[in-house]
């Protein structure tokens, strides 16, 4: 197969500095680098005329994200929260060691925790909750026993 490896997941953001701070300082991603591209060939690749794009790369546990801020053309603000069953990327998922403690810490630091999404499964020593990044992307925090590199067995 000619595909060599996965490289990153792109996340469009309204404020690049705010999003870097969120993913780096709240979720422990490591800042790697930035790029700035404008015009061709990016216009063609992205199917957007007049591209002026500032992006930053961050990584955690082998997961690299590319935060994309379009100075031009401006990103359209969503007219509603994105439901989980809408096609495309729905969420990121992170395994955590102390869900309750992390929820308290993130809440104290201004992170939106979707309290109504919280589940606890004592028989499996597991639980999960959704939080949102500054632009509303859902991030699932999962506490479960076993190998954190594997999906939880619930």
Q: pLDDT, tens digit, for every residue of 127-139?
A: 999 999 999 999 9
Mean pLDDT of 46-65: 96
The Cα 94–Cα 133 span in angstroms is 13
| pLDDT tier at 82, thresholds 50, 70, 90 | confident
| pLDDT tier at 151, thresholds 50, 70, 90 | low
Contacts of 15 (CB under 8 A, 6+ apart): 69, 134
| pLDDT tier at 152, thresholds 50, 70, 90 | low
For residue 111, the model assigns a pLDDT of 96
- At the top level of CATH, the class of 9-72 is alpha beta
Tell me the three state secondary structure of residue 82: coil
Tokens (6 digits) for 120: 């606890």
**Which residue has better confidence, 149 or 105?**
105
Mean pLDDT of 80-91: 87
**pTM score of the predicted model:** 0.89
Mean pLDDT of 115-132: 93
pLDDT greater than 70 at residue 149: no
pLDDT greater than 80 at residue 37: yes
Domain ranges, ordered by start, for the chain: 9-72, 91-143
- How many H-runs (helices) and E-runs (strands) does the chain carry? 3, 8
- At the top level of CATH, the class of 91-143 is alpha beta
Topology agreement, domain 9-72 and domain 91-143:
yes
The Cα 85–Cα 80 span in angstroms is 14
| pLDDT tier at 154, thresholds 50, 70, 90 | low
């Amino acid at each position: 197969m000619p595909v060599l490896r996965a490289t990153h997941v792109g996340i469009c953001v309204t404020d690049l500095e705010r999003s870097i701070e969120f993913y780096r300082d709240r979720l422990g991603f490591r800042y790697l680098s930035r790029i700035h591209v404008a015009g061709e060939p990016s216009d063609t690749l992205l199917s957007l005329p007049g591209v002026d794009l500032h992006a930053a790369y961050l990584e955690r546990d082998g997961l690299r994200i590319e935060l994309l801020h379009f100075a031009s053309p401006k990103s359209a603000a969503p007219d509603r929260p994105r439901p989980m069953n809408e096609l495309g990327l729905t969420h990121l998922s992170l395994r955590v060691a102390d869900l309750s403690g992390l929820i308290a810490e993130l809440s104290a630091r201004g992170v939106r925790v979707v309290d109504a999404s919280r589940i606890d499964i004592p028989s499996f020593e597991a639980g999960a909750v959704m939080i949102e990044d500054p632009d509303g992307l859902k991030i699932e925090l999962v506490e479960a026993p076993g190998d954190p590199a594997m999906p939880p067995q619930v």
